[in-house]
Amino acid sequence: MKLYNTLTRQEEELDFNKQDINMYVCGVTPYSSSHIGHAMSTVVFDVLRRYLEFKGFKVNHIQNFTDVDDKMIQAAKKLDMSTADLANNNIESFLNEMALLNNLPAQLYPRATEEIEKIIEIIESLISKGLAYHNKDGVYFRVEKVLDYGKLSRRTLKDMISGSRIEIDQNKENSMDFALWKSEKPGEPSWDSPWGKGRPGWHIECSAMSIKYLGNSIDIHGGGLDLIFPHHENEIVQSESFTGEIPFSKIWVHNGLLRMGSDKMSKSVGNIVLIRDVLDKFSTNAIRMFILSSHYRSPLEYNEDQIKSKEISIKKLTKLLENTGGKVDFDQISYVCQIRQEQFINAMDDDLNTPRAIATIFDLHKDLTRLSSEGIDIAAGQDLLNRLSDILGLDLKNKNIEYNQDEFLEPLMKILTNIRSELRNKKEFELADKIRFDLYNIGINLEDSLEGTNWNIIDN
């Protein structure tokens, strides 16, 4: 299996000489309800974990919560509550929503506020090595002391400084030095440390958690593309400086970002769609298929029409599972299953190519539909369909997460095709073509013939 490594900018083979895979994924800052962009990242790494487990690995999966930072403090003040209560409420909601989206739970969800001891240990070590210094604002890492700083984002320190919008801070040795520990401010949560009361910086928490629970060097470190710089860049330099082991992570996996139009979906911008609102409208299966129909490294634009089209696709898969009985034809069913499973594995081995894997599932659906129509028992194929779908987190057997298909689709399509036929008779071809194009975009294809217009659901 190959995965694209952001650090080397190329696909790299996983180490198959070991049984355990240690994977650390950067989680959310729970200062408000989570949006569908957070769900996208979690689904991607859930599928990566599921596939690795399918291949026989034991995946040690850690995902953190940044439960104290500037945004947490500001949101808690606005709501007149403690940061701890705010974090607890939003973490509980997040975990419930992830379960509803059929994500496997991580083995551990550490929180920044619970790892202060390890954070202090790392900072003390960096100071003793001359790689960090203490001033009145806290403790900062000396970026100039590390020659390869910027290797993940492919930036030089000179370029960072020249392109920086950071205001000059006379207390810092270099404008790019980043905070490991922040000195206490009135009204903010704080902890005792050798440098006085304060709280950890953003980046140090992930180094502390990853090293503490997974060791000095891990196999996979994941997160969104927006974390490459500065978060993951700073994680690398402080972790490798502390442990002396390189690499901190063998492979860096970054998912593309969910967009609303041309903008990244972001709490700070306010253009968000909450996970709970999407779950109220659509099934878990449709949401996951929508996310996975785009390659994980590509940006994805939120589109409810496309999610609706996935509902129809999911219905086709679940309906096939209802077919039972028939004559046994071991050769035909075995051949189909072998070919489609190999194609699915080849797709997933190729940098987790879920769009191609989904296409293979629908190719299998076509094969099984044909065999069933010929009176052949497709039970073995149905079992494979379930197993491959499960790798993607699609639960075709669970009726509780199945979409309630619109029972008026057939008569509605009859009305639309009749209207389109009238438009064509009146030579209003532009509007007729628009109806066909819009239907195609939501997964319905129109086929014109001398006998009239037929419609069918487009296979993924």
* pLDDT band at residue 447 under the 50/70/90 scheme: confident
The whole-model pTM stands at 0.85
Mean predicted confidence (pLDDT) in 367-395: 96
Two tokens at 135? 């001033």
Other CB atoms closer than 10 Å to residue 414's CB: what's the count?
12
pLDDT average, residue stretch 263-281: 82
Domains of the chain, each with CATH number or no CATH: 2-264 (3.40.50.620), 304-401 (1.20.120.640), 409-457 (no CATH)
Query: Residue 32 in contact with residue 58, Cβ under 8 Å?
Result: no
What tokens were used for 82? 């403690």
Average pLDDT over residues 313-320: 94
Contact present, 45 and 222 (Cβ < 8 Å): yes
Compute how many other C-beta atoms are within 10 angstroms of the C-beta atom of residue 106.
23
- Decide if pLDDT at 400 tops 50: no
d(CA 88, CA 66): 12
Percentage, residues of the chain above pLDDT 90: 77
Residue matched to tokens 């599972």 = 321
Structure confidence at residue 171 as a pLDDT band (50, 70, 90): confident
Are 43 and 291 in contact by the 8 Å Cβ rule? The answer is: yes
Say which amino acid occupies 32. S
Q: Provide the pLDDT for residue 332.
A: 94
CB 130 within 8 A of CB 114: no
DSSP state, 192?
-
Look at residue 403 in the predicted model and tell me its pLDDT.
Answer: 41
Please list the residues that pair with 134 across neighbouring strands: 139
pLDDT digits (tens, 9 = 90+) for 118-168: 999 999 999 999 999 999 999 999 999 999 999 999 998 888 876 555 556
Percent of the chain with pLDDT over 70: 94
For residue 162, the model assigns a pLDDT of 63
The CA distances from residue 276 to 36, 53, 76, 256, in Å, are 9, 28, 21, 22
Report which of residues 460 and 37 the model is more confident about: 37
Tell me: pLDDT of 272 over 90.
Answer: no
> Is there a contact between 120 and 193 (Cβ–Cβ < 8 Å)?
yes
In one-letter notation, the amino acid at residue 193 is: S
Residue 451 has pLDDT above 90, yes or no: no
Instruction: Specify the pLDDT at position 296.
Output: 98
- Residue 170, both tokens: 């006379």
In three-state secondary structure terms, 453 is strand
In this model, does residue 271 exceed pLDDT 80? Answer: no
Average pLDDT over residues 38-67: 97
User: Residues 247-268: what's their mean pLDDT?
Assistant: 87
Rounded (to 5) percent helix, strand, coil in the chain: 50, 15, 35
Enumerate the β-bridge partners of residue 252. 221
**C-alpha gyration radius of the chain:** 26
Residue 10 burial (CB < 10 Å; 0-12/13-18/19+)?
Answer: exposed
Mean pLDDT of the chain, nearest integer: 92
Q: For residues 420 and 399, what is the distance between their CA atoms, to the nearest angstrom?
A: 36
Residue 121 per-residue DSSP state: H
pLDDT of residue 131: 98
Residue given tokens 């299953």 in the structure block: 337
pLDDT at 320: 94
Residue 261 has pLDDT above 90, yes or no: no
Give the pLDDT of residue 372. 95
The pLDDT score that the predictor gives to residue 165 is 57
Q: How far is CA 193 from CA 120, 121, 238, in A?
A: 7, 10, 19
Give the model's pLDDT for residue 356. Answer: 98
pLDDT value at residue 405 = 44
Give residues with Cβ within 8 angstroms of 239, minimum separation 6: 207, 210, 211, 216, 248
In this structure, are residues 73 and 189 in contact, taking their beta carbons and an 8 Å threshold? Answer: yes
Q: Are 168 and 175 in contact (CB under 8 A)?
A: yes
- Could you tell me if 356 and 392 are in contact, meaning their C-beta atoms sit under 8 angstroms apart? no
Residue that wins the pLDDT comparison between 451 and 314: 314
pLDDT per position as a tens digit, 349-362: 999 999 999 999 99
